[in-house]
């Protein structure tokens, strides 16, 4: 708990907003607000996962067939890259906690680099699907004998990974600002909420991919076998 | 100063990172073997474990107040209820090929 003298000085420096009494209260309010937002994000992606669940229940063969069109090695590589970006982001928050703004900024830049690798690989994957004419609505000519409902799998593939990529893009833009502020010493040991909330957001993006990867890339044929 | 903000040791982050990589390798390995009806449960159990590690350690929920626990848990529990009810409907009402009605 902060003493009242400390609280007064934190109010004076602007590290503690005037409507909060202690740093603890400020930190917990920010974390709670961020989690309220993230739960809303869970609902958003939850809707997409529900559509996936229903259509896969109705057309298991189409989903298994579609899954086998996705390159497992590429998906695995990208999963590792994204997990790595979560690590660098977690370490950036840790540096911010310790008041090491420049290190935090560098770790955020590392996170951005890994995010760009992920999105670059995703872009190559998309272009291969375009080349193979497996983009529902825009360029759809699956090979003869393909499951009649294969388009459902690919429509969901593009919407789900597309929404995920959009979230990464938003995260990248936020990182530009937070890293700049961190580099200039804009965060302190008492108040590093910008880095903290950015970290929560980025780990959520990682969380979504942790489920997308097995559900899209790693499906078995229904009833066993491949 | 902010005495409440837990600074986790570096090794905790590295350990979680390695566990997430192992989980990824494990789920890819499992996808190349056929466990029959357990294919999906295994994939989801691994993904769920990885997600829990991210939420508890990377997102610091393990060290947060009870109120944050409630918020974080409520979202996922609601989603589970949603999935269960939707599946209960589709798996009993809509005839699906290969399920014997």
Distance CA B93, CA A185 (A): 60
* H or E stretch at B66: helix B66-93
Of B33 and B101, the structure prediction assigns the larger pLDDT to B33
| Residues A160/A212, Cβ–Cβ less than 8 Å | yes
> Is there a domain that residue A77 lies in?
yes
> Is there a domain that residue A63 lies in?
yes
> Is there a domain that residue A184 lies in?
yes
Closest by CA position to A126, among listed A158, A151, A172, A149? A158
| Among A2, A67, A79, the residue to mutate for chain B (most B Cβ within 10 A) | A79
Q: pLDDT category, A5, cuts 50, 70, 90?
A: confident
Query: Is A186 exposed, middle or buried, given 0-12, 13-18 or 19+ CB atoms closer than 10 A?
Result: middle
Query: What per-residue confidence (pLDDT) applies to B4?
Result: 47
Range of the domain at A62: 26-217
Nearest residue of A to residue B65, measured between CA atoms: A28
Q: How far is A220 from chain B (nearest CA, A)?
A: 7
Q: How many domains does chain A have?
A: 1
> Is there a domain that residue A1 lies in?
no
User: Is the ipTM beyond the 0.85 threshold?
Assistant: yes
Tell me: the pLDDT tens digits for A73-117?
999 999 999 999 999 999 999 999 999 999 999 999 999 999 999
Write the residue in A24, A46, A226 that is nearest to B4 by C-beta: A24
Helix axes A193-217, B39-53, angle to 10 degrees: 170
**For residue A58, which residues of chain B lie inside 8 Å, CB to CB?**
90, 94, 96
Q: Which residues contact A72 (CB under 8 A, 6 or more apart)?
A: A217, A218, B28, B31
Distance CA A61, CA A161 (A): 21
**Pairwise CB contact (< 8 Å): A94 & B71:** no
> Is there a domain that residue A191 lies in?
yes
Closest by CA position to A168, among listed A224, A223, A206? A206
CATH number, position A167: 1.20.120.80
Write the residue in A35, A46, A223 that is nearest to B68 by C-beta: A35
The residue ranges of every structural domain in chain B are 7-63, 65-101
Tell me: the pLDDT tens digits for B33-58?
999 889 999 999 999 999 999 999 99
**Pairwise CB contact (< 8 Å): A23 & B4:** yes
Nearest residue of B to residue A26, measured between CA atoms: B2
> Is there a domain that residue A10 lies in?
no
């Amino acid at each position: 708990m902060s003493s009242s003298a400390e609280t007064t000085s934190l109010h004076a420096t602007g590290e503690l907003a005037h409507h909060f009494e202690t740093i603890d209260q400020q930190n917990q309010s920010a974390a709670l607000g961020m989690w309220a937002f993230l739960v809303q994000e869970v609902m958003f992606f939850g809707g997409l996962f529900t559509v996936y669940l229903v259509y896969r229940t109705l057309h298991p063969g189409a989903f298994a067939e579609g899954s086998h069109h996705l390159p497992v090695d590429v998906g695995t590589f990208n999963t590792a890259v994204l997990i790595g970006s979560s690590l660098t982001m977690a370490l950036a928050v840790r540096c911010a906690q310790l008041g090491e703004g420049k290190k935090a900024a560098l770790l955020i830049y590392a996170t951005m680099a890994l995010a760009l690798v992920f999105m670059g690989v995703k872009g190559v994957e998309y272009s291969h699907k375009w080349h193979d004419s497996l983009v529902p609505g825009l360029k759809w000519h699956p090979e003869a004998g393909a499951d009649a409902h294969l388009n459902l799998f690919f429509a969901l593939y593009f919407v789900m990974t597309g929404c995920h990529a959009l979230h990464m893009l938003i995260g990248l833009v936020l990182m530009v600002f937070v890293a700049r502020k961190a580099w200039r010493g804009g965060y302190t040991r008492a108040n590093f909420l910008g880095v903290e909330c950015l970290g929560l957001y980025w780990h959520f993006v990682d969380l979504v991919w942790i489920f997308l990867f097995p559900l899209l890339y790693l499906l078995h044929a229904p009833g066993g076998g491949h | 100063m902010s005495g409440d903000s837990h600074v986790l040791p570096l090794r905790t982050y590295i350990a979680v990172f390695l566990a997430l990589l192992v989980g990824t390798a494990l789920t890819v390995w499992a996808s190349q073997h056929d466990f029959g009806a357990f294919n999906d449960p295994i994939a989801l159990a691994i993904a769920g474990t990885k997600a829990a590690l991210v939420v508890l350690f990377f997102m610091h929920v393990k060290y947060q107040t009870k109120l944050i626990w409630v918020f974080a848990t409520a979202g996922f529990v609601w989603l589970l209820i949603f999935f269960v009810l939707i599946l209960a409907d589709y798996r009993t009402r809509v005839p699906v090929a290969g399920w014997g009605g």
